[in-house]
Amino acid sequence: MQNIRNFCIVAHIDHGKSTIADGLLEFTHTISQREAKEQLLDSLDLERERGITIKSHAIQMKYSAQDGNTYTLNLIDTPGHVDFSYEVSRSLAACEGAILVVDAAQGVEAQTISNLYMAIDAGLDILPVVNKIDLPSAMVDVVKKQIIDLIGCKDEDIILASAKTRAGIEQILEAVVQKIPPPVGNENAPLQALVFDSVFDSYRGAVAYIRVVNGTIKEKDEITFFASGKKYLAEEVGTLRMARIKTGELKAGNVGYLIAGVKELHDTKVGDTVTHTRGGALNPLPGYKDIKPMVFSGLYPTDSDDYENLRDALDKYRLNDSALSFVPETSAALGFGFRCGFLGMLHMEIVQERLEREFDQSIVTTLPNVEYWVSKKDGSKIIVDNPAEMPLQGDIEKVEEPYVKAQIVTPSEYVGNLMQLAIEKRGVYKNTTYIDPTRADIQFEFPLSEIIFDFYDKLKSISRGYASFDYEYIGYRESDLVKLDIMLNGEKVDALSIIVHEKKAYTWGQKVCTKLKDLIPRQMFEIAIQAAIGTKVISRTNIKALRKNVLAKCYGGDITRKRKLLEKQKEGKKRMKQVGNVEIPQEAFLAVLQIED
Amino acid sequence: MKETALYIHIPFCDHKCIYCDFYSIITYENTSSYLQSLKKEISFYAEKYNDDRKIISIYFGGGTPSFMEPEYISEIIEHVKQNFVLAENPEITLETNPGTVDKQKLENFNRAGINRISIGIQSFNEDELKFLTRIHDAQTAIKTVCDATKAGFANINIDLIFNLPGQTKQKWLNNLDEALRLPITHLSAYSLILEHGTILNKMVLDGKVKMQSDDYDAELYEITIDHLTQKGFEQYEVSNFALQGYECMHNNAYWRYKDYLSFGTSAHSFVNGKRWWNFSSVKFYNDAVSKNGNGIAGEEILTKEEMLDEYVMLALRSSGLDMNELEKLFGRSWLIKNQNYISRLIEQKFLTLTSTLLKFTSKGYAVCDEILAKLK
């Protein structure tokens, strides 16, 4: 156990976490240079495109250190986005140390800070690394100073590296061996193994990635998962290199995988503890949380005949992503679909994109919303994750919404713009810390609903891309929220209802009405578009009746062409959604998602 | 006996008008070889379809058929008579452009067997005629109609186009009034269509010409229907109006789903549920006819559903859909599927129901395509 080191890398997005990891794997001959070209730890296409890690993975290296010993190094990768912060926390709990990577040209950013704090909170030893020192725009001294201010280390503790030229890689490995403590634990104690990740294998079922904290797990052991209470037989145990290496057992301090015939990813929950069914530990490891979705949206098939297909796709998708939740729901406008819960906006986008790309689904989504707590005048309390379920305005005593604490790091010249944006987004200013004279770390509290929408894009645009942002959930607070309905000829379009702050309702309503006027084609009657809170109409416009749509000529030579055109038009009409008599093109629902609030 | 209409395409033109997307050519070199092909093709189909048919109409379209010599047309008519059985009083129409005929030539056409003249006047306004690049002026147009009457034609159609760029309501009304002063029995009033591949389309794309709005088009259309019906012209199709008893038999053959055989370049035929069309180029057509006896470039055999769609579309576009007849041909399912929608259309005065005939109101004709697309 003395020769094992478990560590992770924390960094802001694009600061070089993956390339540093590649450098380590290559130096230890875990992978060849050619293999390193592909950033290995990010294995989904989408992750590679976005340069972020969604799922964490682990890989083991053997390193012959300068002290003459060979060490087993387990590098545990962490997801790089706030939507997955619980998963990050479990990955961190599997480590004793963290390499903090900061880009020499960018300096400390919001995620550098938030991930660092999480690592420190998890009790990890920090190895600071300034990466990309070969860049012409590198400001090594400035960034070193920022890091010293941030973690209070000494100048000589900071390793200067370039994942590209492989400078500093050996130094990092030496520091891992010397400065990160070996794991502590008793291999003879009752088994406690932390599940820090799990993946789905179509042949073997759920594969749990585990850190054995105490005890030893062997193949053929009878095991129990604490959270689900379910019992299994350990079929296969091993370590993780480029592939799974079957070892037959894993002892305290080590990291590896466990296959136990678990059919669903749900039953290998991240944060859960594995123990022996007989003579096992009395208590699980601390820190298990059942993760809850934060953002909700309706997903509907473009063609209502595809409802069953979408259900199959969601079922299959969930095998690989236990964080996604879904229940059937019906919309008068969109037909049969599902209300889905996501960890955050990125998670939602990923699910949608993967459903479209990998499962070939064509879907329409409704505006995302958070979960509200509604207290009614009759004393009852309900949870609302769909605007359609909001009680009537008159029956509501109060509405509470989730708030987050946000950390924004920005060059100081954009502080003014940021304050402006924060006001628009109902932010509550908390405090400012200067990382150095030119960079401010500002904290706000925001309603979650305000930042799930277009906050990130706006932040980037007001700061020319320099500001960065991270947040964590802090609890529910009362707000003046109302349900805003959109009506076409007096009929509610349920899929367009939203819950919105009273002060923003008017502008929002106006924007939606204008957008719909542009996108709904003229029909044979006039269409009144209204935005209303309860019975009070706050915005209205109308689409004039279609007065002429007829081909002037249709003689012998025109008939085939005209019939084909008609077939196409009928097909188009079939794809329209209908509310009352009004036909709404799918684009109208999508366009509402693009409206800036 | 199965009533059948014949169409004969004459592709030759003096020049190409900016809005025209018909197949036409500006050379007369191939006229005689084309005549031989036409005759060969007529014989080919007369033999193929000798199943108890009688020809109720012959229609010479183009192109500019009136540009040909009367003997040319006469030779075709004679050839048809030799090969097919003609009904007692077949309608024989010649499309005619002002500026290509005088009284004498019209008399000769009449003698050749033509009994209906369709004159492509388009407008009585000099500026509009120039814009449309027509070769005639207003005076010639009027004279052509009068000459046709003098030459013995009692059944005369004229074509007019509305919603031209910049056309005021008054200008259009003037056109209609001018037309109504003439001894015509039939009027086709077409809203200007922007067809792909026309010079006009390019002008619009280049921003040189601006089309008027659909709403304005709707207003002009409404004026047209009101004005013509007041003067005794009944609307029997989206763009066609006639005095009682002067509806075009040939057009009605298309719209009432009768069989038609067509000869010449780009001509479309429809017989026993099968549709085919000829090559558009004179050269390809000539080559095909000399090789195969026909000029077929493509064909389709319609499914029952496609036939139903076409039947409904054509009937509603023209003088109405007879529900009894529809049921006889296609069964009840269409009526059952569309019952609710149809009742709503009647209620909202887009359709009228007289006995078993569903017919568009003028408001209904205007949004015909929208309604057709919503029928199941």
Question: pLDDT for B169-202, tens place per residue?
Answer: 999 999 999 999 999 999 999 999 888 888 899 9
Give the minimum alpha-carbon distance from B104 to chain A in angstroms, rounded to a whole number: 31
Average pLDDT rounded to a whole number, residues A189-215: 92
Sign of the dihedral through C-alpha A531, A537, A540, A544: positive
Residue of chain B whose alpha carbon sits nearest to that of A571? B373
Dist CA A546 CA A363 (whole Å): 29
Compute the count of residue pairs across chains A and B with CB atoms less than 8 Å apart: 97
Question: Is the Cβ pair B313, A548 closer than 8 Å?
Answer: no
Q: Using a CB–CB cutoff of 8 Å, tell me whether B277 touches chain A.
A: yes
Which whole number is the average pLDDT over A12-34? 84
Q: Cβ contacts of residue A207 below 8 Å, gap of 6+?
A: A198, A199, A200, A201, A244, A257, A258, A259, A268
Tell whether the torsion through CA atoms of A156, A157, A163 and A167 is positive or negative: positive
Which residue in A550, A560, A569 is closest to B275 by CB distance?
A: A560
The tens digit of pLDDT for each residue in B236-274 reads: 999 999 999 999 999 999 999 999 999 999 999 999 999
Could you tell me whether strands B2-10 and B53-62 are parallel, antiparallel, or unpaired per DSSP bridges? parallel
CB A132 within 8 A of CB A138: yes
CA distance A457 to B81: 78
The candidate with the shortest Cα–Cα distance to A366, out of A322, A335, A396, is A335
CB-CB: which of B313, B348, B366 is closest to A547? B366
Considering the four listed CATH numbers 3.30.1120.10, 3.60.40.10, 3.40.50.11540, 1.10.10.920, the one that applies to the domain covering B304-374 is: 1.10.10.920
pLDDT for the residue B283: 93
DSSP sequence for B77-130: HHHHHHHS-EEEEEEEEEEE-TTS--HHHHHHHHHHT--EEEEEEE-S-HHHHH
Is B256 in contact with B315 (CB distance < 8 Å)?
Answer: yes
Contact A395, A407 (CB under 8 A): no
Task: Burial-class residue B189 by CB neighbours within 10 Å (0-12, 13-18, 19+).
Answer: buried
Chain A CB within 8 Å of residue B370 CB: yes
Residue B318 has pLDDT above 80, yes or no: yes
What integer pLDDT is reported at residue B367 of this predicted model?
96
Cβ-defined contact of B369 to A550 (cutoff 8 Å): yes
Kindly report the average pLDDT of chain A as a whole number: 89
Residue for token pair 């509550």: A428
What is the pLDDT averaged over residues B126-153? 95
The whole-angstrom separation of Cα A266 and Cα A228 is 9
d(CA A428, CA A422): 8
The alpha-helical segments, DSSP class H, found in A217-361 are 307-320, 345-357
Pairing of strands A244-246, A249-251: unpaired
- Which residues of A are less than 8 Å from B219 in CB distance? 547
Interchain proximity B215–A544, CB inside 8 Å: yes
Best mutation target among A520, A522, A523, A524 (most B Cβ atoms within 10 Å) is A524
Residues 6+ apart with CB under 8 A from A441: A110, A113, A407, A408, A409, A432, A433, A434, A435
Task: Give the three-state DSSP class for A591.
Answer: helix
* Out of A8-17, A73-82, A373-382, least confident range: A73-82
pLDDT in tens, A300-324: 998 888 999 999 999 888 877 878 8
B350:A524 CB<8 A: yes
Rounded CA separation B98/B134 (Å): 9
**Residue A80 has what pLDDT?**
65
| Residue A50's pLDDT band (cuts 50, 70, 90) | low
pLDDT digits (tens, 9 = 90+) for B193-242: 888 888 899 999 999 999 999 999 999 999 999 999 999 999 999 999 99
Is the CB of residue A563 less than 8 Å away from at least one CB of chain B? Answer: yes
A526 contacts chain B (CB < 8 A): no
Q: Report DSSP letters for A392-459, one per residue.
A: PGGGEEEEEEEEEEEEEEEEGGGHHHHHHHHHHTT-EEEEEEEEETTEEEEEEEEEHHHHSSSHHHHH
Query: How much of chain B, in percent, has pLDDT values that exceed 70?
Result: 99
Mean pLDDT of A152-169: 92
Instruction: Tell me which residues of chain A, numbers 542 to 561, contact chain B at a CB-CB cutoff of 8 Å.
Output: 544, 546-557, 559-560
Tokens encoding A125 = 């030893």
Determine the residue of chain B that is closest to A549 in CA distance. B367
pLDDT at A453 over 80: no
CA angle A51, A56, A61 (to 5 degrees): 100
Q: Residue A573's closest CA among B374, B369, B201?
A: B374
Beta-ladder partners of A470: A407
The residue ranges of DSSP E strands in chain B, in sequence order, are: 2-10, 53-62, 86-96, 116-122, 156-162, 186-191, 234-237, 240-242, 259-263, 268-271, 274-278, 296-301, 321-322, 351-354, 357-360
Count of C-beta atoms within a 10 Å radius of residue A53: 25
Check B368 against A560: CB less than 8 A apart.
Answer: no
| Closest in B254, B275, B365 to A555, CB measured | B254
Q: Is B195 on the interface with A (CB under 8 A)?
A: no
- ipTM, two decimals, is 0.93
| Cβ–Cβ gap B217/A557 under 8 Å | no
Angstrom distance (rounded) from CA B122 to CA A546:
27
With an 8 Å Cβ cutoff, is A525 touching chain B?
Answer: yes
B254 contacts chain A (CB < 8 A) = yes
- Return d(Cα A99, Cα A486) in angstroms, integer: 51
- A-facing residues of B in 3-32 (CB < 8 A) are 7
Q: What is the pLDDT of residue B223?
A: 96
Whether A569 has its CB under 8 Å from any CB of chain B: the answer is: yes
Lowest mean pLDDT among A177-186, A281-290, B132-141, B275-284: A281-290
Q: List CB contacts of B354: < 8 A, sequence separation 6 or more.
A: none
Lowest mean pLDDT among A349-358, A512-521, B289-298: A349-358
Confidence band of A127 (pLDDT split at 50, 70, 90): very high
> Can you read off the two tokens belonging to residue A366?
């409704």
Given this model, what pLDDT does residue A414 score? 93
CB contact under 8 A, B372 and A566: yes
| Mean pLDDT score across all residues of chain B | 94
Q: How far apart are CA A383 and CA A372, in angstroms?
A: 6
Cis upstream peptide for A279 (omega within 30°): no
Q: What is the DSSP letter of B226?
A: H
Question: How many Cβ atoms sit within 10 Å of the Cβ of residue A226?
Answer: 20
Rg (CA), chain A: 27
pTM here is 0.75
Q: Do B268 and A553 touch (CB under 8 A)?
A: no
Tell me the chain B residues in contact with residue A546 when contact means C-beta distances shorter than 8 Å: 214, 367, 370
pLDDT at A49: 54
Asked if the Cβ–Cβ distance from A524 to B367 is below 8 Å, we say yes
* Per-residue pLDDT tens digits for A561-570: 999 999 999 9
- The amino acid present at B111, given as its one-letter code, is R
Q: Which residues of A touch B373 (CB under 8 A)?
A: 566, 569-570, 572-573
Cβ contact A548–B217 (<8 Å): yes
pLDDT per residue as tens digits for the range A527-539: 999 999 999 999 9
pLDDT in tens, B91-113: 999 999 998 999 999 999 999 99
Whether A571 and chain B come into contact, CB under 8 Å, resolves to no
Residue B236 touches partner A, C-beta closer than 8 Å: no
Q: What's residue A31's pLDDT?
A: 76
Residues 6+ away with beta carbon under 8 Å from A571: none
Instruction: Quote the pLDDT of residue A78.
Output: 81
| Contact call for B214 and A549, based on CB within 8 A | yes
Mutate to test the interface with A, among B280, B370, B374 (most CBs of A within 10 A): B370
What residue ranges of chain B are covered by domains with CATH 1.10.10.920?
A: 304-374
Asked if B309 and A546 come within 8 Å (Cβ–Cβ), the reply is no
Task: Give start-end residues of each CATH 3.20.20.70 domain in chain B.
Answer: 2-255
Find the closest chain B residue to A557 by CA distance. Answer: B268
Q: Give the CATH class of B2-255.
A: alpha beta
pLDDT at residue A1 tops 60: yes
CB contact under 8 A, A547 and B215: yes
